Amino acid sequence: MGTIYNKRSLVALDNLVDLIITCVDHPAAANQLFLAGDGEDLSTTELLQGLAKAMGKPSLLVPVPAGLLMFGATILGKKAMAQRLLGSLQVDISKARNVLGWQPPLSVEEGLNAACLVDKDFL
């Protein structure tokens, strides 16, 4: 997974809640649709590296080309699953930024760190 260069949009819970509160309070949000995101898109490789860092673990990613992963998944009858994993999935939050003046309060790194805060005894 060390050579996947797709782009994925994420949204930290704190960023989603902040956008919802902004929409409730801002008069320009009435009857509008806004997409939520952290404002920085990551590849699957970057996401796995960021999660490992947030958990204080090394990221041990094997550099397997995306084409080889797709080929193997196709042979195993899992092409659709591989397309979801290897493809890009991005949202554009520029409308929320331009209309509401909204900026995500947490960075992607801060969101991943918050997501990885778990009780060590639980693991």
* Residue 2 in domain: no
* Residue 6 in domain: no
Q: What is d(CA 68, CA 17) in angstroms, rounded to the nearest whole number? A: 39
- Residue 100, token pair as written in the block: 């509401």
pLDDT tens, position by position, 64-120: 888 999 999 999 999 999 998 899 999 999 999 999 999 999 999 999 999 888 655
* Residue 122 in domain: no
pLDDT tens, position by position, 1-43: 667 889 999 999 999 999 999 999 999 999 999 999 999 999 9
DSSP state of 105: S
Which pTM value belongs to this model? 0.82
Cβ atoms of 23 and 86 closer than 8 Å:
no
DSSP state of 3: B
* Residue 4 in domain: no
pLDDT over 60 at 122, yes or no: no
- Residue 79, token pair as written in the block: 């092409």
A 10 A CB-CB count for 1 gives 19
Indicate the SS3 state at residue 72. helix
* The pLDDT of residue 123: 52
pLDDT over 60 at 121, yes or no: no
Range of the domain at 93: 13-115
* Residue 120 in domain: no
* The pLDDT of residue 118: 62
User: Considering its fold, how many domains does the chain have in total?
Assistant: 1
* The pLDDT of residue 27: 96
Q: What is d(CA 26, CA 87) in angstroms, rounded to the nearest whole number? A: 35
Indicate the SS3 state at residue 24. helix
Q: What is d(CA 116, CA 100) in angstroms, rounded to the nearest whole number? A: 30
Q: Which residues contact 31 (CB under 8 A, 6 or more apart)?
A: none
pLDDT over 70 at 61, yes or no: yes
